Amino acid sequence: MTPLRLVVLTTAVLAAFAGNSLLCRWALQDAHIDPAGFTAIRLGSGALVLWLLVRRRASAAARAGGNWGPALALFAYAAAFSYAFMYVPVSTGTLLLFAAVQVTMVAAALWAGERLSLAQWTGFGLAIAGLVAMLLPGLSAPSPSGAALMLTAGVAWGCYSLRGRGSRDPLADTAGNFLRALPLGLALLLVSADRLHADAAGVALAVLSGAVTSGLGYALWYAVLPSLGAARAAGVQLGVPPTAALAGILLLGESLDARLLLASAMILGGIAMVSCGHVGPRAC
């Protein structure tokens, strides 16, 4: 892959991952759609796009893969993510999600016997301290319920990433996991039937989140990942929270405060120190 093509595609991936937060918050803060509806449409449109991408491969044997364990984690992430953005802004939600994913990945690595250097331990501690500082009670603290939901989404996505690290065909497995998660999304619609609502804008935002920023975004990520390598891939992901925060400010009128800026510096700086050892998720 040429350097220019790599830069263009990597930038598109960064925008897609940040776009997931922006589209969800946009749809929910103005009540264009309910979180259960957003989750189901996101999973459905993502499954369709990923399935079509797998089917158009030259190989006749190409088919969706995956299994139910990762699919459950994917559904838990998508549902908690949607409900969380009823309560937290884009900047806060994306940072909480990113921090929870990274902490889950590092904890799993430690559990598996991986050793961290002193610098990595320092970075891990700094990131945890930033997360604590962000969640401490105060006027600018995020909603406790929203924060809990987003941390749950991050842990679920971390578990999903861990289960998928050994995949030989990540695109096919992601397509299969989306297809398996879709019935769970439809079941969520049934149990939330009395609270369902949607307008044309809400449906469109959910479809964009599933088909473009999720489906196509993940496909692009798997395409550029071999050319990026572990270290640069981790660095790219560090750009997701700032990109999402900027989009929230420009498009949704959100604002940043001193607490969030300090917590962001601690969390992202700490994760950068840990990532020097190549510990981190494949996508978020």
Give the pLDDT score at 4.
82
pLDDT digits (tens, 9 = 90+) for 34-60: 999 999 999 999 999 999 998 887 554
Q: Which two tokens stand for residue 209?
A: 């989140």
Give the pLDDT score at 109.
81
Determine the Cα–Cα distance for residues 283 and 253; give it in Å rounded to an integer: 27
Determine the Cα–Cα distance for residues 209 and 32; give it in Å rounded to an integer: 14
Using an 8 Å Cβ cutoff, are 211 and 46 in contact? yes
Q: What is the pTM of this model?
A: 0.88
Cα angle 213, 217, 220; round to 5: 160
User: Which residues, including other chains, have CB under 8 Å from residue 249's CB and lie 6 or more apart?
Assistant: 91, 255, 256
Give the pLDDT score at 230.
58
Determine the Cα–Cα distance for residues 190 and 173; give it in Å rounded to an integer: 27
Determine the Cα–Cα distance for residues 225 and 165; give it in Å rounded to an integer: 12
Phi and psi, residue 33, nearest 5°: -160, 160
Kindly report the number of other CB atoms within 10 A of residue 164's CB atom: 19
Question: For each of the chain's 284 residues, which pLDDT tens digit applies?
Answer: 788 888 888 889 889 999 999 999 999 998 999 999 999 999 999 999 999 998 887 554 556 677 899 999 999 999 999 999 999 999 999 999 999 988 888 888 888 888 888 888 898 899 899 888 888 776 567 899 999 999 999 999 989 888 877 778 888 899 999 999 999 999 999 999 999 999 999 999 999 999 999 999 988 888 887 787 655 666 677 889 999 999 999 999 988 888 888 988 999 888 888 876 554 444 43
Long-range contacts of 260-264, Cβ-Cβ distance < 8 Å, separation of 24 or more: 260/91, 260/92, 260/95, 260/134, 260/140, 262/130, 262/133, 263/95, 263/130, 263/131, 263/133, 263/134, 264/91, 264/95, 264/130
Give the pLDDT score at 105.
83
Kindly report the number of other CB atoms within 10 A of residue 255's CB atom: 10
Determine the Cα–Cα distance for residues 163 and 70; give it in Å rounded to an integer: 6
Give the pLDDT score at 58.
56
